[in-house]
Amino acid sequence: MTVQEYRQTRFTPPEGATEILLVRHGESRAARADSPFPLVDGQGDPELAPQGRVQAEQVGQRLQSLPIGAVYVTKLQRTTETAAPLCRAIGRQPKQNPDLHEVHLGDWEGGVLRIKAHENHPIYQQMQAEGRWDVIPGAESAETFKTRLLRGIQTIAAAHPDELVAVFVHGGVIGQILEAITGARSFAFSGADNGSISHIVVQGDAIILRRFNDTAHLIDQDPLASAALPT
């Protein structure tokens, strides 16, 4: 008599779902008090540092063989620069999503956050302790941030059912999206490395987390190194 066996199976996205790779941009140039970042709509817009350009090439090499149906970026140049090697390799033009840009940092835009973090400023300490961006004067609230990010993700998913999409975004964006879909505490996912890949699957209002902070392609990176700040 033949005995029926039931093997473990690999995950298969549900019909109509969209797989989204959330790629954090490469390392951007260092902040300096005497040379603030240029602003776009009031947000810091630094270019990639040399190491960030290396990370962008490594991301492109990692993803170029996948069946990517679309590439999205934000209005900030570090995401477009990071997506460029992949776009060249697969012959696609990136699309800009208006909702997925980084959290607004109010008075601490232009690189000030990095400087205040280095100084361990009291407001930075409060921000970390309370898990809130809006303790910074003029900064965006977590609820407002979350609402526009989930809107952006749903817009992309609705346009690309049954497709794999690469979305080049920011550390704070990845952290907030993953907090929202997992119910995690504030800043629980704030450690996404530059050039890392996180993976979600979107089907309607249901979003599944498949992977966080994959850096296997960043061959020169110490996997135990401290994560950079989320901007």
Q: What is the CATH number of the domain that holds 177?
A: 3.40.50.1240
Residue 118 lies in a domain: no
pLDDT of res. 231: 55
Domain enclosing residue 188, as ranges: 18-103+142-214
pLDDT of res. 194: 98
The Cα 10–Cα 231 span in angstroms is 35
pLDDT of res. 200: 98
Question: What's the domain count of the chain?
Answer: 1
Q: What are phi and psi of 72, to 5 degrees?
A: -120, 150
Residue 3 lies in a domain: no
State which residues of the chain have pLDDT below 70. 221-231
pLDDT of res. 221: 62
pLDDT of res. 219: 77
Instruction: List CB contacts of 226: < 8 A, sequence separation 6 or more.
Output: none
pLDDT of res. 192: 97
pLDDT of res. 50: 97
Token pair 């990845």 is found at 174
pLDDT of res. 61: 98
Residue 188 lies in a domain: yes
Residue 4 lies in a domain: no
Please give the C-alpha separations between residue 6 and each of 3, 9, 13, 14, 117, in angstroms, as whole numbers. 10, 9, 20, 20, 53
- Provide the H-helix boundaries in 120-199: 122-130, 142-159, 171-182
